[in-house]
Amino acid sequence: MEAEYVALSSSCKDLFPVMDLVKEIRQFFDLPVKDKARFHVRIHEDNVGALLLGQLEPHRMTPRSKHYAIKYHWFQEQLVPRGITLVKIETKEQLGDIFTKGLPGVDFECLRKKLMGW
C-alpha cells in the first residue's frame, strides 16, 4: 500500500503543474472558459488501500499509514479543489503494469493490445 500511495503522490506532483500551466495559457490568451474546457481528471488506482487513503479527509490516517512520511499526504488537500477523482480500476485493466511487473505472456499481450489501441 505504501508504494502505491507514494506513486499516487508522485503522479500528482507531476500532474498539478501541467494543469496550472494550461490554466495560465488559457488566461493569457483570454480564451473563453466553456463547460467543455474544464478539466475532468480521473486517476486510476488498483490498490484498494492506497485508494481509500487517498480519498480520506486531509490529515486523517489509518493505523497502518501513520508512519508514512508527511511529504506524501499533501496531495489529498488538492484533489477536491482541482476536481480530481480517484477511481478504482481492476488490476487486469491497469496499463501501467506492463512497465512495472513481470507479467505472464497472456496478460502481457492483452495489455499490449490495449496500450496500442487494438
pLDDT, residue 25, reads 87
The domain spans of the chain are: 2-91
Q: Give the amino acid at 79.
A: L
Given a cut of 80, is residue 103 above it in pLDDT? yes
In terms of Cα–Cα distance, which of 51, 43, 42 is closest to 4? 51
φ and ψ at 49, to 5 degrees?
Answer: -65, -45
- Is 9 in contact with 70 (CB distance < 8 Å)? no
* 110, burial (CB in 10 Å: exposed 0-12, middle 13-18, buried 19+): middle
The C-alpha cell at 49 is 488501500
pLDDT, residue 36, reads 53
> d(Cα 32, Cα 3) in Å, to the nearest integer?
40
Residue 104 Rama label (left phi>0; alpha psi -120 to 50; beta): beta
**For residue 50, how far is the Cα from the chain centroid?**
11
17-64 confidence digits (pLDDT tens): 999 998 888 888 877 766 555 778 899 888 888 888 888 887 777 777
56-102 confidence digits (pLDDT tens): 887 777 777 777 777 788 888 888 888 889 999 988 888 888 888 88
